[in-house]
Amino acid sequence: MRRHHHPERHRTGHMGWLRAAVLGANDGVVSTASLLMGVAAAHADRRQLLLAGAAALVAGAMSMAAGEYVSVHSQADSEQAELAREREELANDTDAEHRELATIYVGRGLEPALARQVAEQLMAHDALDAHARDELGITEVFRARPLQAAAASAASFAVGAAVPLLVVALAPVAMQLALVFAISLACLALLGAAAARMGGAAAVTGALRIAFWGALAMAVTTGVGLLFGGP
């Protein structure tokens, strides 16, 4: 009887870069659109808007990259420190580490004799990997990747920020505020829906969540521009 491999597709392996990309794109659209609407409400011309938007795009992308890199690198440093400590413990007291691993498997439901056998075989194959995965919860799929997170955040922020910037560059002056608001809000809703679907959640909920906060940010910033930008 032939056995067919059943491929399973899980979303959890993409959560690291997905989180960084969604955060970057969302922040790019919201912050740049809000800034442009506030400056436009203060009666700035197209050239001033484009200058402000381009500066916001570059500064925001670099800020997102730096913040994400520092944050994820701190996580990576902690992982490396834990692995170094575990490597030292394995070198100094292998028997104690074997008992520790077996105890973990007993806690997960294995019989003690089977747990000891599993621990022995896994440690013979790759002791550090077994302890990293089952004792520390560190796996290759979820390991911190600072450069990947920083690049995803910077690139997605730039893509998000480019949306309202292009609207300002192409839209008639009389319709800039309305079009920036409408198109940015639509992009935020699509972004929220796509992120929710990729994460296995309801698309409508994700779209409404991001659209609400984006609309609020743009409305408040526009109000500030109208309040302080009058003649």
Nearest-10 Cα torsion for 90, 91, 94, 96 = -60
- Report pLDDT for 13: 47
pLDDT at 69 over 70: yes
C-alpha to C-alpha distance for 31 and 160, rounded to whole angstroms: 9
Question: One-letter amino acid identity for 131?
Answer: H
What are the DSSP calls for the chain, one per residue? ----------SGGGHHHHHHHHHHHHHHHHHHHHHHHHHHHTT--HHHHHHHHHHHHHHHHHHHHHHHHHHHHHHHHHHHHHHHHHHHHHHH-HHHHHHHHHHHHHHTT--HHHHHHHHHHHHHHHHHHHHHHHTS---TTT---HHHHHHHHHHHHHHHHHHHHHHHHHS-GGGHHHHHHHHHHHHHHHHHHHHHHHTTS-HHHHHHHHHHHHHHHHHHHHHHHHHHS--
Q: Where are the domains of the chain?
A: 16-38+50-223
Mean pLDDT of 112-132: 76
- Report pLDDT for 8: 47
* Cβ(79)–Cβ(144) below 8 Å: yes
- Report pLDDT for 138: 65
- Report pLDDT for 2: 46
Q: pLDDT averaged over the chain? A: 80
pLDDT at 14 over 60: no
Residue 63: other Cβ atoms inside 10 A: 15
Residue 134 vs residue 188, higher pLDDT: 188
How many Å is the maximal CA-CA distance in the chain? 83
> What's the pLDDT tens digit per position in 168-200?
999 898 888 899 999 999 999 988 887 777 777
